[in-house]
Amino acid sequence: MALIKNEKEIALMAEAGRKLARVLAALRKEVKAGVTTAALDARARELLKEVDAVSAFLGYKPHGAAKPYPAVLCVSVNDTVVHGVPGEYVIRDGDLVKIDMGLVHERYYSDSAITIGVGKVAASARKLIQATEEALRAGIKAARAGNTLGDIGFAVSEQVHRGGFSVIQQLTGHGIGTALHEDPYVFNVGRQGEGDVLKAGMVIAIEPMVAMGKPQVKQLRDDSFATKDGSLSAHFEHTVAITSSGPRILTESGI
């Protein structure tokens, strides 16, 4: 069962979220053709210093990973869905670039991801990005006290299927707090009314991962996950607090 956070803890998580939103907004502008993914990571390290926060990813060893994570960003391009390791890859016109980042502010974590279409992107790829972002919005809308985790998964998958795309089911969202990954798993599929009941004070990372083709993914040698059929993928994520007055997105600027 998810840990319940009190108001003070949620305020700290909101500050962690605001910092992350600022960093991601700045990074978004730097994602363009000709830039290496390593350069984005270097910029993210500077931005972390500017907002006075610590990376949640650097040195982190998720379950099933072969080695500790070497960067502050995950930059996953095209068929790579998540956990892409920044390196010498040069971003090209038409790429779908997913940036996933987590940070820590006074022991509390925030986690968020965006997908950016670089330059001239195919109409179908733009549609994929839009459908994934809409699926995140639908999931957040369902994140209300009294609803269930199944309601979130149902809302996400319905929205994805409406766009004609596939939900990647091997990867999930998660609870978040004083650790990057806490209980419960937040699935992107589900049945309405099933699973854990959501309560005010829960904080979860909702993160639809969507494929243009088949939903199966494979783990590569650098621990990243890519679609098995090589089709394009998109990913959006917000850290969301469930409050008595509805879902509160912590990783959105202007809150």
Binding site for Mg ion (CB under 5 A): 100, 111, 113, 205, 237
> Least distance to Mg ion from the beta carbon of 154, Å?
20
Nearer to Mg ion, 61 or 162 (CB): 61
Nearer to Mg ion, 94 or 98 (CB): 98
> Least distance to Mg ion from the beta carbon of 237, Å?
5
Nearer to Mg ion, 173 or 215 (CB): 173
Nearer to Mg ion, 99 or 124 (CB): 99
What lies within 8 Å, CB to CB, of 192 at 6+ separation is: 148, 150, 151, 154
Question: Can you read off the two tokens belonging to residue 186?
Answer: 């937040």
C-alpha torsion sign, points 230, 233, 239, 245: negative
> Least distance to Mg ion from the beta carbon of 195, Å?
18
Nearer to Mg ion, 12 or 209 (CB): 209
What lies within 8 Å, CB to CB, of 150 at 6+ separation is: 190, 191, 192, 193, 194, 195
> Least distance to Mg ion from the beta carbon of 123, Å?
27
> Least distance to Mg ion from the beta carbon of 174, Å?
6
